[in-house]
Structure 1
Amino acid sequence: MAFFGKYLEVVPNARIVWTNEESDNGAVTTVTFEEKDGKTLLVMRERYPTKEALDIAIEGMDEAMPEVFEQLDAFLIARGASAGRP
């Protein structure tokens, strides 16, 4: 699946905000990173323009989110970080 959008905010090691412009129902995604007890807590939030857009997005999340985090793990490992997720 192709993704299109733009970065709205990038704070190194703290926060990234971007638009998802694949359709009119695209979300604004915010990811924050916080150090806790020597580990990084990643929190991902998405804001959808309507309840209907959220409902459509939820349908595909069971398949999409594991792939997103597998790709993040691979990226971090390639950069020398450990993937401490279960």
Structure 2
Amino acid sequence: MNDSAESSQGNTVVERRSDRELVVIRRFAAPVHLVFRAWADPALFRQWWIPRSYGMTLVSCEMDVRKGGTYRLEIGHPASDQPMAFFGTYIEVVPDERIVWTNEESRDGAITTVTFAARDGQTEVSISNLFPSAEALEQELASGACDGTRESLDQLEGFLQA
């Protein structure tokens, strides 16, 4: 994403809501319960989450999607001997409505809130990342993570259509 407050590419909108919050919004032609399940069921999640163009693989995917449950994703890349670990705790889980988790792999990890809402026969997914500082948000933008999120959401759309 560039330095503008909002950008749109395809069906995905990225909004910078403050100096610490970045929100990604996407609609899917599928019912809320199916879209929620794709996020909450590890067997389904692992089929679409990792952007394929990055050459990465999901080495392991452990998710206990309930309040107080934890997750741990290990992602492998051909350029690295060791997988990268992403992990945290689910703060809130409301089936078919919301999943909130921490990102504890660094002290600059965001709190992620994913909401699911029925809109005009589709499901709108809103992914909010609230960072601990403006600098942490800037680092996220510089990393190219928004492009990866867009690709993951494209893959989710294909998964839901299949």
TM above 0.5, yes or no, is yes
Residue 72 to residue 13, structure 1, CA distance change in 2 (3 Å): same
- Residue of structure 1 equivalent to 2:100: 17
Identify which of structures 1 and 2 has the higher relative contact order when contacts are C-alpha pairs closer than 8 Å and 6+ apart: 2
Q: Mind listing any 5+ residue stretches in structure 2 that lack a counterpart? A: 1-74, 76-84
The number of residue pairs the alignment matches comes to: 78
Aligned counterparts of 1:21 and 1:63: Cα–Cα separation in 2: 22
Residue 72 of structure 1 pairs with residue 147 of structure 2 = no
What is the deviation of 1:17? 0.2
- RMSD over aligned CA atoms reads 1.9
Identical-pair percentage: 47
Q: Mind listing any 5+ residue stretches in structure 1 that lack a counterpart? A: none
Higher helix share: 1
2:99 maps to amino acid: I
What TM-score does the superposition give when structure 1 sets the normalisation length? 0.77
Q: Deviations over 1:35-82 (max 9, x none)?
A: 0111000111000001111100111224321343245346xx3xxx42
Higher strand share: 2
Aligned counterparts of 1:62 and 1:15: Cα–Cα separation in 2: 21
Give SS of 2:92's match: strand
Structure having the higher Rg: 2
